[in-house]
Amino acid sequence: MIKNKKIEIGDRVVETRPSILEPDKVKLWVRSGGRCAICNKYLLDLNYEVSTGEMAHIVGWSNAKKSPRGNSALALEKRNTVDNLILLCADHHKIVDTKKLLEEFTLERLMLHKADHERRIHHLTELQIDSESIVLRMFGGIRGVSVEVSKEHARNVIFNSEKKFAMFIDSFDKHGIEIDLNKLPDPEENWEAYWSIGMSMIDKSLRPLIEGVENGSVRHLSLFAMSRIPLLVYLGYKLGDKIPSSLYQKHRGEEETWMWSVKEKAETFEIIKLKECSSENVALILSLSGSINFEDLPSNISTNSNIYEIRPVETTPNRDILRNKKSYENFNKTYHEFLSQIEVSHKTCNEIYLFPAVPVTAAIACGRGLMRDAQPAITVYDRTGDSYKKTLTINSK
């Protein structure tokens, strides 16, 4: 049994805190992964190789009034054991033991912090190297709208979705591979230059990733993107489908998240032939996040093309159409079924005119998995003002 030590100071006898046994210290540091259980701060100063972690008591080490959370039925001999200790940084140790914050940092809350943190550390350290995923982010170029995903949120999304841990290979902001399109000029000022510069920026930014794939250091990719649709299609084309990838998009609702929902309905999609003509020209309308009427297409295409549409079955197109990951997978399957049909029904077609009103992941899917030099080129159109204009072409021979 561990007992509090008693020492004499003048005519007073006071109790001193008993030492924490070495086995309990080791267990706590190992279970915690050397990180603060609240903020996840790494508790070894790499410059000086000095430990900055502090072992805090959940139930105070004595029953004294000044002992934080000390008024407990927990036996004194159990208060210095690993199950009653939590590893914290100096800042959070001070916070949790501050008198006016004790009602917030309760026994129950600290026990939950400890359990969640140690469970996560245990899981992550059990993962094999193939359980890592390289993070790729592409943002900007959407009419002045600024979009971001924090490093912490990306970690949580990847872990909760795929049970993988996020890897952020070096970039200028240490957030992994980032394609920053925010500085692109306004496309309406120079339409052709906008798309050309955007594609060049994507090509340049992907070089570290391509090198990683070639040398075997990149085996899985997690993609977070928000940009103009044609550039997302181009990104998907450049990435291809040879490297296993998880695609995420921002969902709005009660809370903003990049997590796929398992509660939302899994949508299915159908291919509809809107217009048939004698030429081998093919136009494809994607009415997912909104509806596009084929009368709005450029006149040279609407009058001289076979026009198809992919749209949800029994659901009105809307921006939340792909909340469920299964919905995305169903669209991807339908899209590639369409490409296969074109190979049979329009054998001499060498270019498909694409008019997309789609969420982010669907746009990326339109570029991925194309059979190079076998399937037709795809020219993507984007709306500007009240008309559609050509932006870029992928898979051209």
Least reliable range by pLDDT among 69-78, 110-119, 282-291: 69-78
For residue 240, is pLDDT > 80? yes
pTM: 0.72
User: Above pLDDT 90, what percent of the chain?
Assistant: 58
Q: What is the pLDDT of residue 262?
A: 87
Ranges in the chain annotated CATH 3.40.50:
134-248
The CATH architecture of the domain made up of 134-248 is: 3-Layer(aba) Sandwich (3.40)
Q: What is the pLDDT of residue 188?
A: 82
> Residue 45: which pLDDT band, with cuts at 50, 70 and 90?
confident
Q: In sequence order, what DSSP letters do the residues of 72-129 get, joined into one string? A: SSS-GGGTTSGGGEEEEEHHHHHHHT-GGGTTTS-HHHHHHHHHHHHHHHHHHHH--G
> Residue 170: which pLDDT band, with cuts at 50, 70 and 90?
low
| Residue-wise pLDDT tens digits, 123-139 | 888 776 667 888 999 98
> Residue 10: which pLDDT band, with cuts at 50, 70 and 90?
very low
User: Above pLDDT 70, what percent of the chain?
Assistant: 90
For residue 143, is pLDDT > 70? no
Q: What is the pLDDT of residue 52?
A: 92
How far is it, in rounded angstroms, from Cα 52 to Cα 32? 14
> Taking the alpha carbons of 382, 336, 313, 347 in that order, is the dihedral positive or negative?
positive
pLDDT winner (highest mean) among 164-168, 254-258, 387-391: 387-391
For residue 14, is pLDDT > 80? no
Q: What is the mean pLDDT of the chain?
A: 87
251 Cβ neighbours under 8 A, 6+ residues apart: 257, 258, 259, 260, 261, 320, 323
Q: What is the pLDDT of residue 365?
A: 96
For residue 36, is pLDDT > 60? yes
Mean pLDDT (whole number) for 140-145 = 63
Q: What is the pLDDT of residue 171?
A: 46
Mean pLDDT (whole number) for 318-322 = 94
User: Higher confidence at residue 284 or residue 46?
Assistant: 284
For residue 357, is pLDDT > 80? yes
Q: What is the pLDDT of residue 177?
A: 81
CB atoms within 10 A of CB 261: 15
For residue 346, is pLDDT > 90? yes
How far is it, in rounded angstroms, from Cα 204 to Cα 208? 9
| Residue-wise pLDDT tens digits, 201-216 | 999 989 888 888 888 7
Mean pLDDT (whole number) for 50-58 = 93
Q: What is the pLDDT of residue 13?
A: 43
For residue 3, is pLDDT > 60? no
> Residue 246: which pLDDT band, with cuts at 50, 70 and 90?
very high
Mean pLDDT (whole number) for 185-198 = 90
For residue 155, is pLDDT > 90? no
Place of tokens 């997690």: 222
Q: What is the pLDDT of residue 298?
A: 94
Residues in the chain: 397
- CB of 223 closer than 8 Å to CB of 231: no
Mean pLDDT (whole number) for 353-358 = 97
Q: What is the pLDDT of residue 7?
A: 41
